[in-house]
Amino acid sequence: MTAEHVAIIMDGNGRWAKKRLLPRSAGHRAGFRRMLSLCEHAFERGVRCLTLYALSEENLSRPKEEVEALFSLFREFFPTQAPKLKERGIKLRVIGGLALLPEDIRAMIPPSEELTAGGTRGTLYLALAYSGRGEIVSAANRAVKEGKEVTRETFSSFLSVPPVDLLIRTGGELRLSDFLLYESAYAELYFTKKFFPDFTNGDFDKALKEFSLRDRRFGRI
């Protein structure tokens, strides 16, 4: 069984930098480089949806200097990566509390999504200023506005991503940190102590291999 939807909590950039006596921003830069390569690799491995937790809503409360360093990486991401994703047939969707992002970054999102909209090979969901609880609440509000009583099946259509098969967290913490709470209901969880900049394509393959050996019972026997 292959994982169609893999979601990654890309954690440990700061500690990776600290270990090398580098500023935290250097850890984010290293994580960014790793993310670009890993993203290419995942779709080559047949993953259809890849959701990357790049920034949580709570992360916006970190010191201004660090938040700005992260913003600079997103400023670089859209213009350089959208054409590459298009070339590779990958659709880009950005999810999260986008209203919390600086105006210039927000403005980069629709053109990047439009450029890649025709991609049929897979979808990359980039979670920015994201909160799982926020996503559920805003989905519920949209359903209410439409006057719809939702079921579990129809509620999913108000959410931003499909159900997660495999959820990977790097950096050693054993928690979800408000990521894809509804969509991960039956996700297989995979935790590794490796800091994200050290999480290689081979490590990703190892996680896929372990997923393929898991017995997903969905409550049955």
> By the 8 A CB rule, do 55 and 130 touch?
yes
Overall size of the chain counted in residues: 221
Distance CA 62, CA 153 (A): 36
CA-CA-CA-CA torsion sign (101, 57, 61, 167): negative
Catalytic, 104? Answer no
* Interaction between residue 33 and ligand IPE (CB under 6 A): no
Q: Of ligand IPE, Mg ion, none, which one does residue 59 interact with (CB within 5 to 8 Å by kind)?
A: ligand IPE
> By the 8 A CB rule, do 57 and 134 touch?
yes
Catalytic, 59? Answer yes
Of 74 and 211, the one with the shorter C-beta distance to ligand IPE is 74
Choices 39-47, 49-57, 114-122, 132-140 (CB under 6 A): range interacting with ligand IPE: 49-57
> By the 8 A CB rule, do 97 and 134 touch?
yes
Of 78 and 199, the one with the shorter C-beta distance to Mg ion is 199
State the burial class of residue 12 (Cβ atoms within 10 Å of its Cβ: 0-12, 13-18, 19+): buried
Closest-by-Cβ residue to Mg ion is 11
> By the 8 A CB rule, do 12 and 34 touch?
no
User: Under rule CB under 6 A, how many of the chain's residues touch ligand IPE?
Assistant: 17
| Residues linked to residue 59 through DSSP beta bridges, in sequence order | none
| Binding mask of the shown chain, residues 56 to 95, with x at each position contacting ligand IPE by CB under 6 A | x--x----------x-------------------------
* Interaction between residue 132 and ligand IPE (CB under 6 A): no
Site for Mg ion in 82-121 (CB under 5 A): none
Classify the phi-psi angles of 47: left when phi > 0, otherwise alpha if psi is within -120 to 50, otherwise beta.
beta
Catalytic residues: 11, 59
Residues near ligand IPE (CB under 6 A) are 9-15, 53-56, 59, 70, 171, 173, 175, 177
Residues near Mg ion (CB under 5 A) are 11
